[in-house]
Amino acid sequence: MKADALIIGGGLIGITTAHRLAKRGCTVVLVEANVDVGLGANFANGAMLVPSQTMPWNSPGILSTLLRSLFTQNSAVLINPRAIPSLFKWGLHFLKNSKPHLHELHTRQLLELALFSMDVFEEYFKEYGDQFDAKKCGTIKIYREQSSLEAQIRSNRHLSEIGLDWEALTPDQTVQAEPHLQALESQLAGGIRFSADVVADSRKFCQTLRDDLVASGQIIHVSCQANELLMSGDRVIGARTTVGDIWAKNTILASGANTRNLVAKYARSILMRPVKGYSLTYDTTSFNDLPSYPVIDEGMHVGIVPINGKLRVVGIAEFAGHDGTLKPKIVRQLDRLTKSVYPKLAQMIDGCKREPWTGFRPMTADGLPYIGETSNKGLWVNTGHGHLGWTLATGSAELLADLIMDKPTALDASSYAVTRSH
Residue pLDDT, tens place only, 231-290: 999 999 999 999 999 999 999 999 998 887 777 666 677 889 999 999 999 999 988 888
- Distance, in Å, from the CA atom of 58 to the CA atom of 21, rounded to the nearest integer, reads 33
Return all residues near 176 (Cβ < 8 A) that are at least 6 apart.
none
Q: What is the per-residue pLDDT for 163?
A: 75
- Distance, in Å, from the CA atom of 218 to the CA atom of 241, rounded to the nearest integer, reads 21
Per-residue buried b or exposed e for 259-268, using 16+ beta carbons within 10 Å of the residue's own CB: bbebbeebbe
CA-wise closest residue to 45 among 382, 339, 223, 305: 305
Integer angstrom CA distances of residue 300 from 151, 209, 336:
17, 35, 11
Phi, psi of 196, deg, nearest 5: -85, -15
Q: What is the per-residue pLDDT for 120?
A: 98
pLDDT-flagged residues of the chain (< 50) = none
Q: What is the per-residue pLDDT for 69?
A: 67
CA-wise closest residue to 53 among 197, 257, 153: 197
Return all residues near 383 (Cβ < 8 A) that are at least 6 apart.
13, 253, 254, 255, 256, 259, 272, 362, 369, 370
All structural domains of the chain, each given as residue ranges with its CATH number in brackets, are: 2-42+203-270+367-416 (3.50.50.60), 51-99+134-199+272-364 (3.30.9.10)
Q: What is the per-residue pLDDT for 73?
A: 67
Integer angstrom CA distances of residue 112 from 272, 354, 412, 416:
21, 36, 10, 12
